[in-house]
Structure 1
Amino acid sequence: MQTIADRLLYTQNLIAQATKNAHRPANSVKLLAVSKTKPVSDLELAYAAGQRLFGENYVQEGVEKIKKMQSLRDIEWHFIGPLQSNKTRLVAEHFDWMQSVDRAKIAQRLNDQRPVNLPPLQVCIQINIDDEASKSGVAVAEIDTLAAHIATLPNLCLRGIMAIPRADADKEAQKNALAAMQSIFTDLKARYSTIDTLSIGMSNDMTLAIENGSTMVRIGTAIFGARK
């Protein structure tokens, strides 16, 4: 049976090969290990194998892991799930990144609740690129307004955009969604000097995402195994 270290190395090699095939610079794509529902012991094994970026979808679970692993100070914690306004304080106080900002109210609360002793919270705007009713994310037409608002908030730093394209889409539909994200990213990057992150790509579309400019892929099961 493969260990977490084995699966992590395998995933890193897939990313490196996809990056090379896309004629992009080595190490231009970061790996975010999605650790939701997994025990701290699994995260510690990934950490021992060199992983430093971890993504959590559930606020309380993420905060508990951050507290248990607070001695490992070089971990970068990303919140990547939908966020209710009554839980913004926990994210503002404990996470380094918030990738799923999808409305001005959430951005404002995160800004107001970010502790003064911490650096600005790094944020991405989540885009509902396929306009799915079941998914969080801002509509494409509303991106500019939300980006402009975030840029005015001193305790947030706008780093980029993220999306979760349809998992059941065919290759052509996936490619179209990812290409649309790359186009939006390029446009925003030209207007905001802090933007450097295009967070797209999971297990089912990682290679395509890297072909379309992803700078961060979010991988869970391939590293930690199936969730119970």
Structure 2
Amino acid sequence: MFSSSWHQISSCLPVGVNLLAVSKGHSATSIRCLAELGQKDFGESRLQEALPKISSLQDIPDLRWHFIGRLQANKARAVLKAFAVIHSVDSLSLAERLSRIAGEELVRPEIMIQVKLREDPTKGGMSREQFLKDWKTLSHLPNLKLKGLMTMPPMMFSLQDRKELFIECRELANQFSLSDCSMGMSSDWEEAVEAGATWLRLGSSLFGARCPSLTNSSQI
């Protein structure tokens, strides 16, 4: 499955659109299989689950780990040590904490600001209004490379509603000259590409069903 799915999707992506393989709930062996095909970027959302996998795959050169889950402030240091990219910075206070700790750890991660452009109690993120209010401070934080925005549509949205939200996210990123938009998952990645996504977060379409033992035993 890995080979056919990965080649089919990656071969049809436009230049500038990157495939992030969401390995949350999948084993290090599965990640290794996909890495052997040429996949380099992997996304995890639970620190406790991710760290053993990252450790066991250190022999593979050039793997890049992305943190995509809700990030608790007390896990900021550990995430900064293990991940090169963080897609889920959902508040100014978290960004400020990451900036301070990144300076202490002598790292400079890429970050995405998670924005919530529609009401959805199940999702985190900054509202458009909050993002606009905090932009000046966010854009001047040291030790962070602010690359773009991340968004997730409400689960019950139609594909057309999702695409409209993706377009809105792209337009907001363009307004502030941010190059990246992390948006689009296995069910709506084609709409995200059409709207201007640069990072697609795909899990089940690449790996298949998640492993329950990994998903249930790990907490962020």
Fold agreement, TM-score > 0.5: yes
Instruction: Work out the CA distance in 2 between the residues paired with 1:115 and 1:221.
Output: 36
Answer whether contact 2:113 2:148 (CA < 8 A) is retained: yes
1:177/1:95 CA distance change after superposition, 3 Å: same
Answer whether contact 1:79 1:91 (CA < 8 A) is retained: yes
Counterpart residue number, 1:218:
201
Counterpart residue number, 2:10:
12
Q: 1:135 aligns with which of 118, 123, 127?
A: 123
Per the normalisation by structure 1, the TM-score is 0.87
Name the SS for the 2:176 alignment partner.
helix
The percent identity for this pair of structures is 31
1:141 Cα deviation (Å)? 0.6
What code does the residue aligned with 2:142 have?
Answer: P
Counterpart residue number, 2:60:
72
Answer whether contact 2:80 2:107 (CA < 8 A) is retained: no
Counterpart residue number, 1:174:
162
1:64/1:149 CA distance change after superposition, 3 Å: farther
Counterpart residue number, 1:101:
89
1:145-190: CA deviation from partner (whole Å, max 9, x where unpaired) = 333223222211100001111232123312221121111011011x
Answer whether contact 1:91 1:110 (CA < 8 A) is retained: no
Answer whether contact 2:81 2:105 (CA < 8 A) is retained: no
1:213 Cα deviation (Å)? 0.7
Answer whether contact 1:178 1:209 (CA < 8 A) is retained: yes
Unaligned runs of 5+ in 1: 20-26, 190-194
Name the SS for the 2:10 alignment partner.
helix
Structure with greater contact order relative to length (CA < 8 Å, sep ≥ 6):
2
Instruction: Work out the CA distance in 2 between the residues paired with 1:118 and 1:76.
Output: 18
Name the SS for the 2:42 alignment partner.
strand
Instruction: Work out the CA distance in 1 between the residues paired with 2:61 and 2:142.
Output: 24
Name the SS for the 1:106 alignment partner.
helix
Counterpart residue number, 1:47:
35
1:77/1:147 CA distance change after superposition, 3 Å: farther
Answer whether contact 2:182 2:199 (CA < 8 A) is retained: yes
Name the SS for the 2:117 alignment partner.
coil
1:117 Cα deviation (Å)? 6.4
Instruction: Work out the CA distance in 1 between the residues paired with 2:54 and 2:124.
Output: 24
1:92/1:147 CA distance change after superposition, 3 Å: farther
1:66 Cα deviation (Å)? 1.7
How many corresponding residue pairs? 211
Name the SS for the 1:217 alignment partner.
strand
